[in-house]
A and B are shown apart, each in its own frame.
Chain A
């Protein structure tokens, strides 16, 4: 079975500073993918970034980067130069192989608040 753990229920950051949202995972599959989604107060799920288990380089998408440490089973999201619009709930998720293909296993989420 797969498991995602986000240990930070809430995080605060000053505008223009960087912030790291933690995510650890557990799976026995060798092939898996890690995703981060943003959920603003309006409720929709917005895809941010993806990291494959065989990717040698950390994924980056604009101000988002994923700090992937495979041996530690962590996939932390780094948001650089925070903006007020980054205030939202952030979910880490994993898709593993085998019979779980297609299924996303989500963490509990972290609420990020960006202060002006």
Chain B
């Protein structure tokens, strides 16, 4: 089954404790990205990757890191989480950026709370 898998689904952590949210897709997609969802703001892109070893900032990259060492995996790293990073996070992948009607497949979401 084609899917994007995020882990964990729920996470409560303390300020400053490094954490990683994993994301893996089994569709051989080139384009992967991370979004955060906040009430009244919709989803905003954090980082994206066009292919292996190619990553770039989205609209809200501060406080986050990513890496793309393999095509299927795109982890999101919070080196020193702060309460303002409490949010619902989505990983998404799509086949060909620039090919319109390329549906983005989303992971199940990770609800992160930083206390």
Contact = CB atoms under 8 A, between A and B. Distances in A.
Contacts of A101: 97-98
A2 to B, nearest CB: 10
A113 to B, nearest CB: 17
Given A101-B97, A103-B58, A108-B41, A47 B103 contact: yes
B106 interface: yes
Nearest to A107: B42
Contacts of B40: 108
Interface stretch (B15-23, B44-52, B60-68, B71-79): B44-52
A43 B100 contact: no
Interface residues of B, number: 28
A102 B94 contact: yes
The binding surface of chain B is classed by DSSP as strand
Nearest to B40: A108
Given A102-B50, A103-B45, A108-B40, A45 B106 contact: yes
B44 A106 contact: yes
Interface residues of A, number: 26
A109 B43 CA distance: 9
A80 B77 CA distance: 42
B42 A109 contact: yes
B29 to A, nearest CB: 10
A106 to B, nearest CB: 4
A102 B55 CA distance: 13
Contacts of A43: 88, 108-109, 111
9 contacts: A35-B103, A37-B106, A44-B108, A44-B109, A47-B104, A50-B101, A53-B100, A106-B35, A108-B41
The 9 A-B residue pairs with the shortest CB-CB distance, nearest first, are A102-B97, A106-B42, A45-B106, A101-B98, A101-B97, A106-B43, A33-B100, A102-B31, A43-B109
Given A43-B108, A104-B45, 13 more contacts: A4-B42, A6-B42, A31-B100, A33-B100, A44-B108, A47-B105, A93-B43, A97-B98, A102-B48, A104-B35, A104-B92, A106-B43, A108-B41
